[in-house]
Amino acid sequence: MLESRHYFIGIHIPKQLAYQMNTDIESRRGLSFQKWTDPRDYHVTLVFLGAITKERLDEMIGGLEKLAHETAAFPLEIEELGQFGVKERPRVFFARPNESLPLMQLREKVKEAVLRAGHPVEKRPYHPHMTIARKWNAEQPYIEQAPLREEPYLLEVSSITLFEIRPKETPRYHPVKQFTLHK
């Protein structure tokens, strides 16, 4: 049944870059989290959908195809590390892309396409991030981390992807449809 599946729209981090970032993260000492994100699942979420009907999903796909045709590819830098939750015991450890104008405009366009399809969007402020790990599980408190490296990671955002979440599989996020942005 389609309604029991959960989806989101995001920017997939290319395999080579994801594994380089993972290597850089693994080289750090003192990071003790319960759950680590598989590098194949690295992404920046634009809009979380959750469960959605087939009719809404089909309508939303049409809107995403249109917006992709009207949206130019753009560069994105990922540099900073951050956390959500209590500073000493974060529940989410992440890498943060620069909140560039093209990224924020893309997010708004995707949000509008989802709303036009009649599907709700979270009302919380949007904070773009790429989850690395969850649930701090050490006795000692978490210590804030320096950037992953001196130079930011750079990627070309040339597409967005509709992902299905499969929690019992690795990787967990499976591309359903990719929307190529025009050059």
What's the average model confidence in pLDDT over 58-62? 96
pLDDT digits (tens, 9 = 90+) for 106-156: 999 999 999 999 999 999 999 999 999 999 999 999 988 888 888 999 999
Instruction: Pick the closest to residue 144 from 96, 76, 77, 78 (CA basis).
Output: 96
Average of per-residue pLDDT across 7-18: 97
Of 98, 119, 133, nearest to 162 by C-alpha is 119
Catalytic residue among 6, 119, 129, 182: 129
Q: What percent of the chain has pLDDT over 70?
A: 98
Examine the residue annotation and report whether 6 is marked as an active-site residue of this protein: no
**For tokens 């366009």, what's the residue?**
109
Please name which of 108, 81, 103 lies closest in space to residue 92, comparing C-alpha atoms.
Answer: 81
H or E element that contains 61:
helix 54-70
Of 5, 9, 8, 11, nearest to 157 by C-alpha is 11
Q: Is 181 helix (H, G, I), strand (E, B) or coil?
A: coil
Residue 117 phi, psi dihedral angles, 5° rounding: -80, 0
The pLDDT score that the predictor gives to residue 154 is 96
CATH 1.10.3300.10 fits 2-180, yes or no: no
- Above 50 in pLDDT, residue 21? yes
- Of 153 and 30, the structure prediction assigns the larger pLDDT to 153
Region 5-10: mean pLDDT is 96
State residue 183's pLDDT score: 67
> Is the pLDDT at 83 greater than 90, yes or no?
yes
pLDDT of residue 1: 38
Q: What residue spans define the domains of the chain?
A: 2-180
Cα 134 to Cα 72, 123, 137, 140: the distances in Å are: 33, 23, 9, 16
Is 43 noted as a catalytic residue in this protein? yes
Q: Which of 6, 12, 43, 127 is catalytic?
A: 43
Confidence check: pLDDT of 55 > 70: yes
* Res. 2 pLDDT band, cuts 50 70 90: very low
Per-residue model confidence (pLDDT) at position 74: 98
* Mean pLDDT value across residues 26-35: 89
User: Residue 62's pLDDT is what?
Assistant: 96
pLDDT of residue 106: 98
DSSP per-residue letters across 12-31: EPPHHHHHHHHHHHHT-SS-
Cis status of the peptide bond prior to 171, with omega within 30 of 0: yes
